[in-house]
């Protein structure tokens, strides 16, 4: 049976990009069959990592799906906000965001907003390598029937203002 393609968002701050590149390389088979959405600079790195991985494993007979990677703007230039908007529209199935706990970011408010929306919409989110390992190796990750429950905000939306 044909498995569903998921939309996975991958983002890393500069000091964490090497970590993400290693993680992507290690998980390239699992990632390659999904549509990846990345902030600009992260996306270029992810694409290069996946292409290099393919070149190194050219001799393997397995079928290699066409890479599908969407590059948003660079994070500080609005990429985090673009991703937040995709989350609000229900277009992202999981977020892998290696954010830097040791450096201030010029777009810190955008980073916070992105993480807030991922939480609000109950998007499975990994914020470091171990949580990313747990996420990608979870049986639920492979379960096409699993849909995260999004809270019903109807009462909030329809509240009467005095
Ligand atoms: O700043 C980022 C996330 O907050 C990531 O942006 P880049 O992928 O463009 O470096």
Q: Tell me the sheet residues that pair with 9.
A: 37, 95
Q: How confident is the model at residue 1 (pLDDT cuts 50, 70, 90)?
A: low
Residue count of the chain, please give it: 162
Q: Inform me whether the pLDDT recorded for 2 exceeds 90.
A: no
- What is the CATH classification number for the domain harbouring 148? 3.40.50.1380
Residue 96 backbone dihedrals phi, psi, to 5 degrees: -110, 110
116 within some domain = yes
pLDDT, tens only, 72-110: 999 999 999 999 999 999 999 999 999 999 999 999 999
153 three-state secondary structure: coil
Alpha-carbon distance of 35 to 92, in angstroms, equals 10
Pocket test for ligand 1, best of 16, 19, 42 (most atoms within 8 A of CB): 42
Q: Inform me whether the pLDDT recorded for 20 exceeds 80.
A: yes
Question: Who contacts 101 (Cβ-Cβ below 8 Å, separation ≥6)?
Answer: none
Annotation marks residue 80 as catalytic: yes
Q: How confident is the model at residue 3 (pLDDT cuts 50, 70, 90)?
A: confident
Q: Inform me whether the pLDDT recorded for 37 exceeds 90.
A: yes
- For residue 98, count CB atoms less than 10 angstroms from its CB and return exposed for 0-12, middle for 13-18, buried for 19 or more: buried
Ligand 1 geometric centre to CA of 95 (Å): 13
Tokens found for residue 60: 């393997």
Q: Strand locations in 113-162, DSSP E?
A: 125-126
Q: Is 40 known to sit in a ligand binding site?
A: yes
Segment 40-69 mean pLDDT: 91
54 within some domain = yes
> How many of the other CB atoms lie within 10 Å of CB of 79?
24
- Residue 41 Cβ contacting ligand 1 at under 6 Å: yes
pLDDT, tens only, 123-158: 999 999 999 999 999 999 989 999 999 999 999 999
Point out the ligand 1 atom lying closest to the alpha carbon of residue 76. 1
77 within some domain = no
36 within some domain = yes
136 within some domain = yes
162 within some domain = no
Q: How confident is the model at residue 63 (pLDDT cuts 50, 70, 90)?
A: confident
> From edge to edge, which strands make up the β-sheet containing 35-38?
68-71, 35-38, 7-12, 94-98, 125-126
Residue nearest to atom 6 of ligand 1 (CA): 75
Chain-wide mean pLDDT for the chain? 95
Ligand 1 geometric centre to CA of 81 (Å): 11
73 within some domain = no
Q: Inform me whether the pLDDT recorded for 115 exceeds 70.
A: yes
Q: What is the pLDDT of residue 58?
A: 84
Specify the number of domains making up the chain.
1
What kind and span of H or E run contains 115?
helix 108-120
- What is the extent of the structural domain holding 28? 7-68+89-157
Q: Is 75 known to sit in a ligand binding site?
A: yes
Q: What is the pLDDT of residue 65?
A: 85
123 within some domain = yes
């Amino acid at each position: 049976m044909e498995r569903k393609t998921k939309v996975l968002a991958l983002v890393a701050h500069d000091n964490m990009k090497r970590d993400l590149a290693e993680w992507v390389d290690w998980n390239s088979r699992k990632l390659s069959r999904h549509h990846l959405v990345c902030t600009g600079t992260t996306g270029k790195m992810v694409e290069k990592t996946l292409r290099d991985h393919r070149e190194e494993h050219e001799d393997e007979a397995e079928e290699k799906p066409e890479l599908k990677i969407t590059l948003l703007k660079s994070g500080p230039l609005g990429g985090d906000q673009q991703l937040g908007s995709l989350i609000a529209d229900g277009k992202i199935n999981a977020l892998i965001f290696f954010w830097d706990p040791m450096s201030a970011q010029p777009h810190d408010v955008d980073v916070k907003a992105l993480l807030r929306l991922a939480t609000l919409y109950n998007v499975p989110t990994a914020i470091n390598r171990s949580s990313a390992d747990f996420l990608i190796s979870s049986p639920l990750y492979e379960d096409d029937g699993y849909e995260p429950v999004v809270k019903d905000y109807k009462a909030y939306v329809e509240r009467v203002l005095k």
